[in-house]
Amino acid sequence: MTALKELRVLDMTQYEAGPSCTQALAWFGADVVKVEPPGKGDPGRGGDIIPGNYFFQWNSNKRSIVIDLTQEEGRELLLEMVVHYDVFVENYGPGVVDRLDLGYEVLRAVNPSIIYASVKGFGSSGPYADRKCFDGVAQAMAGALSITGQPDDEPLLPGTTTGDSGTGVQLGMAILAAYIQRLQTGDGQYVEIAMQEAMTYYMRTRMAMAPGWNNEPVARIGNGSRAVNNLYPCKGDGANDYVMIMAITPKMWVNLCSAMGKPELANDPRFVRNRDRVDNGDALKKEISSWTKGLTKHEVAELLAVADVPGGPVLDTSELLNDPHLTERGFITTIEHPDRGEVPILGWAPRLSASSVDLTAAPALGEHTAEVLTQDLDLPPAAIQRLRDKLIIGGS
């Protein structure tokens, strides 16, 4: 039994912001059918019919069909399919679905209960509505770059693609909320999310904790957010031989001093109160660094855990894929790739005790075209072949 076994999703998304949303729904058990254009399909495929690594990570547990929506017969085919689905998701650039005449009102006329979800960089209204957007643009215009990096250096693009996948996860929540409402009312609705606005959700803590946040820009502070909370060098010459320590409370500070073998530091006048530790930040970092430099990042992390102090090593991506904790929990799994054999894939963090979904490989372009058209429209093989001959559909 899966949580979203009865939910069917038409997925007309590309790259990451949209696919991350529909993949989340698929990982809860929804039947997600990805609608791709003929030729190269979703640009996230990288121009190859066989899924590339990027596409592979964001499109598992989906089926793929190819329909040429620029042809009227292809558009009509999609509208026939819409009646069999609960959700339609798209993240094309501004104006694209309108030019295809596949906007919300068009689909609603065919299926009044459809939940129509759109991802746009800046939403459908406002002075930026017609602008195209990708992850880095969303992060820049949400302020994320302005608070990332060293104080005296240029703004820095965060390494994670939160502007894309962070938007997708929020949209998934909104779709489920609309679905629950539909179970009560029977009516569908239009769901919109703007990447810029979604990204600002992740800005709240930094903006709220900084002094004068509503009157002046929040400054970049590098890796340190407050006293003790910082990145410290460890033994080794690797680029990621560091440990993050976050001894936020007075008790954690005392425990850290004991873990370092320097309990007297807890009563050092320079470090007694948090304000003292802030005022003497350079001296504090020197004291802690002199300890961490004598140990590997994993050794420091073990000592911190014993002392009940939050902290952890900086894992590079190779270490992440081989992390014993994530491996034991089944978060790092492998899926058979048609070209590359077993490929590691990062799992889905939410775990439901009464719902479980086995991960399946991302589909080849149009792998399920005939299967879906037969299932949804009961088209016989001859009709499917006719559509294929007219280049209305593609794939298997």
Beta strand 31-36 pairing with 8-12: parallel
Regarding whether 308 and 283 lie in a shared domain, the answer is yes
Catalytic residue among 164, 241, 323, 389: 164
- Interval 331-359 mean pLDDT: 89
Characterize 97-113 residue by residue with b for buried, 16 or more Cβ atoms within 10 angstroms of its Cβ, and e for exposed. Answer: beebebbbebbbeebee
CA–CA separation, 201 and 363 (whole Å): 32
Q: Report the candidate in 169, 126, 133, 225 with the shortest Cα–Cα distance to residue 22.
A: 169
Closest-CA residue to 257 (of 270, 242, 247): 247
- Taking the C-alpha atoms of residue 25 and residue 357, their distance in angstroms, rounded to an integer, is 11
Q: What is the 3-state secondary structure (H, E, C) of the chain?
A: CCCCCCCEEEEECCCCHHHHHHHHHHHCCCEEEEEECCCCCCHHHCCCCCCCHHHHHHCCCEEEEEECCCCHHHHHHHHHHHCCCCEEEECCCCCHHHHCCCCHHHHHHHCCCCEEEEEECCCCCCCCCCCCCCHHHHHHHCCCHHHCCCCCCCCCCCCCCHHHHHHHHHHHHHHHHHHHHHHHHCCCEEEEEEHHHHHHHHHHHHHHHCCCCCCCCCCCCCCCCCCCCEEEECCCCCCCCEEEECCCCHHHHHHHHHHCCCHHHHHCCCCCCHHHHHHCHHHHHHHHHHHHCCCCHHHHHHHHHHCCCCEEECCCHHHHHCCHHHHHCCCEEEEEECCCEEEEEECCCCCECCECCCCCCCCCCCCCHHHHHHHHHCCCHHHHHHHHHCCCEECC
- Annotated active-site residue 11? The verdict is no
Kindly report, residue by residue over 192-242, the tens digit of the pLDDT: 999 999 999 999 988 887 766 667 888 888 887 777 899 999 999 899 999
Do 129 and 166 belong together in one domain?
A: yes
How much is the average pLDDT of 12-27? 98
**pLDDT band at residue 249 under the 50/70/90 scheme:** very high
Any domain includes 281: yes
- CATH number of the domain at 256, please: 3.30.1540.10
In-domain check, residue 134 = yes
Query: What CATH number has the domain bearing residue 159?
Result: 3.40.50.10540
pLDDT tens digits for 62-114?
Answer: 999 999 999 999 999 999 999 999 999 999 999 999 999 999 999 999 999 99
Q: Which domain holds residue 61?
A: 8-201+329-394
DSSP lists the bridge partners of residue 337 as 341
- Asked if residue 318 belongs to a domain, the reply is no
> 378 falls in which pLDDT band (50, 70, 90)?
very high
121 and 250 fall within a common domain? no
Q: Tell which of 255, 279, 313 closes a domain.
A: 313
62 with 93, same domain: the answer is: yes
In a domain, 261, yes or no: yes
**Mean pLDDT taken over the chain:** 94
Q: How far apart are the first and last CA of the chain?
A: 29
Residue 266 domain-assigned? yes
- At a CB cut-off of 8 Å and minimum separation 6, what does 111 contact? 82, 83, 85, 188
Handedness of CA 218, 222, 227, 230 (dihedral sign): positive
Give the residue among 234, 362, 327 at the shortest CA–CA distance from 288.
234
Find which of 37-51, 89-103, 265-279, 335-349 is predicted with most confidence, using mean pLDDT: 89-103
Instruction: Show which of 313, 343, 362 is a domain's final residue.
Output: 313
Is there a single domain that holds both residue 341 and residue 289?
A: no
Beta bridge partners of 336: 342
Residue 323 lies in a domain: no
Q: For 167-198, write each residue's pLDDT tens digit.
A: 999 999 999 999 999 999 999 999 999 999 99
Please check whether residue 218 lies inside any domain of the structure: no
- The b/e string for 248-273 (b: 16+ C-beta within 10 A; e otherwise) is eeeebbbbbbebbeeeebeebeebee
**Residue 85 CB burial class (10 angstroms; 0-12, 13-18, ≥19):** buried
pLDDT at residue 276 greater than cutoff 80? yes
CA distances from 109 to 102, 152, 188, 361 (A): 11, 56, 11, 34
In a domain, 365, yes or no: yes
- Same domain, yes or no, for 347 and 285? no
Q: Are residues 309 and 336 in the same domain?
A: no
Residue 339 structure tokens: 């070209």
On the question of pLDDT at 260 being above 90, the answer is: yes
User: Which of 280, 313, 346 delimits the end of a domain?
Assistant: 313
Looking at residue 51, its pLDDT comes to: 64
Do residue 169 and residue 47 come from a single domain?
A: yes
48-57, 194-203, 366-375, 383-392: least confidently modelled range: 48-57
What is the structure's pLDDT at 49? 58
Does the structure show a pLDDT above 90 at 328?
yes
One domain for residues 22 and 65: yes
- Do 277 and 353 lie in one domain? The reply is no
Residue 394 and residue 367: Cα distance in Å, rounded? Answer: 9
Total number of domains in the chain = 2
What's the average model confidence in pLDDT over 316-338? Answer: 92
Assess whether 55 and 181 both reside in one domain: yes
In one-letter notation, the amino acid at residue 26 is A
pLDDT over 90 for what percent of the chain? 86
Half-sphere exposure of 61 (CA within 13 A, CB side): 26
Query: Are residues 126 and 261 both part of a single domain?
Result: no
